[in-house]
Structure 1
Amino acid sequence: MPDGPARKETPLSPRAAATRQRILDAALAEFAEKGLAGSRVDEIAERAGANKRMLYAHFGSKEELWMVVLERAYAAKRAEEREVEVQHLPPGDAMARLVSFNLRYTARHPEFVALLNQENLHQAAYLRRSEDVPALYSPIVDALRGVLARGVAEGVFRQGVDPMQLYISILALGHFYVANRHTLSTIFGAPLDTEAAIAAREAHITDVVLGYLRP
């Protein structure tokens, strides 16, 4: 079980910052492929064109590197979420855009799905350590709250929908699809990671969500 505070980042020279970034990129790829337990520091270092001493100097341990990679993965998604503009759209179109964003982001970033699956196997032990957890709160929950309120006011959405529960449902409908795309493709005998397949899934999820919200 991890313990102790997260390591603080300090200003780095351009060369050191570039090395650190290469290590993070290599670690993301390695962790997504093999998980925390299956990844090896020497393999991450080799993939980054660095050495183990350099990796430990920047991150202290494999576990600390995992936590930084996880935080950055969340932060990257949250940054894109903040760019999703829905205030000017009618409630139904706004909800469809939020559904589309989540599915499309997940489909573009299967490594994010892999990291989350791994962290759940560890019962969020590393995420709970993070001092950045409050910043990882999804802005889309607030966007959903606003869209729901407008939809209720305009009579196109029913009342009493919990934004957090709706957010989790939207995530689940996309996350399961991407996380299980290989087995589902094999079972159904059709590739589910093509643009056509993702578009069909997007349309289905949108219909499910808007059908649930109908008064």
Structure 2
Amino acid sequence: MSKVDMNTSKAVRSRNAQATSQAILESAIVEFCEYGLSGASTSRIVERAGCNIRMLYHYFQNKETLYKAALEQVYNQLRGREAELSILDRDPMDAIKTLTAFTFDYMRDTPAFIKLVLGENLLQGEFIRTIPSIPRSSRPFIQSIQTQLDRGVAAGIFRSGIDATQLYISIVSLSFMYLSSQYTLSVTFGVDISSEENIRTRRLHVVDMIEKYLKLGAE
């Protein structure tokens, strides 16, 4: 076999390995969302992924390692999508309103994120605290928000004293709680809050709340 053929063969094996591990990971996310960590079945995961159990343990060692990889992936995907917003290239108010609207849309369209985060909170953050990439990737994004807050204050648009971390937690919470509790809230208040009309109304409400909170003179 020539050197070119050997390199081609290695590249194919590498692509196949990446495809297999990603298929296992995506299958695991579905499984953990449905059954949680304790109820998740490695047999169902590999069946859905179209591989065998040996491959799962080859790439992920055990179910807990796979669960941590699933958590890391959903957070990385969120951070990646947030980075695409390029909030530092926008005017301060537009940046925060864009982030707020995006966050609502992302939570609405990515139920896996909500389900995995809810499950990890039931475990009191046992596994997420062992994944250093999650806080590491969050810090620069929070700093970007703080930069825009400072710009808004300097421009006379935003009131002073707003903390970027607290603001981001509020942005997430206003969307996350509504969407994660839509079934109980619908029964409690006798209205289908998951309807398209109510989803649109809530999205506008969340963006409006954040905008009014930021504005100078809102104290």
Q: 2:116 matched to which residue of 1? A: 115
Q: Flag the 1:74–1:88 CA change in 2: closer, same or farther, 3 A.
A: closer
Question: Which sits farther off after the overlay, 16-25 or 127-136?
Answer: 127-136
For each residue in 1:97-130, what CA deviation from the matched residue of structure 2 results, as whole angstroms up to 9, or x when unmatched?
A: 1111111111111110111111111121111222
Q: 8 Å contact 1:78–1:139 — kept in the other structure?
A: no
Deviation at 1:165, TM superposition (A): 0.7
Map of 1:120-139 to 2, 5 A cutoff? 120-137=121-138, 139=140
Choose 80-89 or 50-59, whichever is displaced more.
80-89
d(CA) in 1 for partners of 2:74 and 2:117? 9
Q: Which moved more, 1:145-154 or 1:76-85?
A: 145-154
Letter matched to residue 38 of structure 2: A
Residue 165 of structure 1 corresponds to which residue in structure 2? 166
Distance in 1 (CA, whole Å) between partners of 2:200 and 2:91 is: 21
Deviation sequence 1:13-42 (CA, Å, 0-9, x none): 222222211111110111111111111111
Partner of 1:105: 106
| RMSD of aligned Cα (Å) | 2.0
> % of aligned pairs identical?
39
How many pairs are equivalent? 205
- For 1:192, the equivalent position in structure 2 comes to 193
Aligned to 1:8: none
| Structure 2 match to 1:148 | 149
How far apart are the structure 2 equivalents of 1:140 and 1:191? Answer: 34
Say which structure is richer in helix.
Answer: 2
In the TM superposition, what is the alpha-carbon distance from 1:182 to its structure 2 partner? Answer: 2.3
Q: Which has the larger radius of gyration?
A: 2
Letter aligned with residue 27 of structure 1: A
Matches within 5 A, 1:1-215: 13-137=14-138, 139-215=140-216
Moved more, 140-149 or 169-178: 140-149
Listed as ranges, the gaps of 5+ residues in structure 1 are 1-10
**Structure 1 letter corresponding to 2:26:** D
CA displacement, residues 174-203 of structure 1 (integer Å, 9 cap, x when unaligned): 110111122223444444344433321121
Cα distance change, pair 134–87 in 1 and its aligned pair in 2 (3 A): closer
Larger mean CA deviation between 119-128 and 80-89 belongs to 80-89
Residue identity opposite 1:178 in structure 2: L
Structure 1 position 155, deviation (Å)? 1.5
- From the superposition, tell whether residues 158 and 131 of structure 1 become closer, same or farther in structure 2 (CA, over 3 Å): closer
Larger RCO: 1 or 2 (CA < 8 Å, sep 6+): 1
TM-score by length of 2: 0.85
Q: How much does 1:157 deviate?
A: 1.1
Return the TM-score normalized by structure 1.
0.87
11-20 or 22-31: bigger deviation:
11-20
User: Which runs of 5 or more residues in structure 2 are unaligned?
Assistant: 1-10
